[in-house]
Structure 1
Amino acid sequence: MRQASTILNVDTRGQGLTEITRAVGAWVRDQAMEEGLLTLFCRHTSASLIIQENAAAEVKTDILAYFARIAPEDARVYAHDDEGPDDMPAHLRTILTGVNLSVPLIGGRLALGTWQGIYLFEHRRAPHRRSVALHMIGE
């Protein structure tokens, strides 16, 4: 068994989904493993990782609208607002979506479905530079 790891830096444009499938896939190909498991870990408490449809743009719009409803930016609701009104909702959205993913590697490729993409989900309004740790084990 072999292991490989790296840190992928992702610049976001603010709140929204940034697809990182190509960058992750390129790194995986460079490792020249055929079978294994890739673990991705977002190193932040106000951004997360999701696997979601990468074909219809409306999916992203609907996801953002849904999270705005279930974790609204409303200063009357939260005690924690150290970094502004989007701070606590960002933490809640991260809890709901998670900071880690596992994707099998089969035949040298990520075993994603036809319409699946890997996204960094930025929950803050301002642009940020986020880091995602990638770790692959396999052969």
Structure 2
Amino acid sequence: MSENFTTRELDIRTGSRETVYDLTRECESFLRDAAHGRDGLLNVFTPHATMGVALLETGAGSDEDLLSALHDLLPADDRWQHRHGTPGHGRDHVLPALVPPHATLPVLAGHLALGTWQSICLVDTNISNVNRKVRLSFLG
């Protein structure tokens, strides 16, 4: 692989309840090792059919607001065709259509070029799978 492209896979434990997991620190740590002060792009990807990546403010209630909105849009009930796992699990398989499993972000001088209140978050409504993988890739 080219020295201009670096990737790392993370193991994340999201817990046994719906969650918005702030991944920003892990992304910054990866860039310290991979970017070496260069400009480029960070790609965040999760290879799961029931999880997404979102940019949002955390800690001020937006993370809970997102989960609440997803509950309204994707109720955990028996309407879903996909019917294995916990009741309503089919909705978890629809989540990535609304919250995609990837994000590509600008990196300037080796640092994430996020807005003041933006954080990189995993959105996980699947309470049956708490062990998750995330692939971080830097191209610069």
Work out whether 1:26 is the aligned partner of 2:24: no
Runs of 4+ residues deviating >4 angstroms: none
Identical aligned pairs, as a percentage?
Answer: 26
* Counterpart residue number, 1:124: 126
* Counterpart residue number, 2:64: 61
* Counterpart residue number, 2:8: 6
**TM-score normalised by L of structure 2:** 0.91
Size of the alignment, in residue pairs? 136
Q: Contact 1:15 / 1:126 at 8 angstroms: preserved in 2?
A: no
Unaligned runs of 5+ in 1: none
Once the 2 structures are TM-superposed, how far is the Cα of residue 55 of structure 1 from its aligned partner? 4.2
* Counterpart residue number, 2:75: 72
Please give the alpha-carbon distance, in whole angstroms, between the structure 2 residues aligned to 1:86 and 1:33: 45
Unaligned runs of 5+ in 2: none
| Corresponding residue to 1:43 among 47, 51, 76 | 47
Give 1:5's aligned amino acid: T
Change (3 A) 1:55 1:15: closer
Once the 2 structures are TM-superposed, how far is the Cα of residue 106 of structure 1 from its aligned partner? 0.4
Give 1:42's aligned amino acid: T
Give 1:28's aligned amino acid: L
How do residues 82-97 of structure 1 correspond to structure 2 at under 5 angstroms? 82-97=84-99
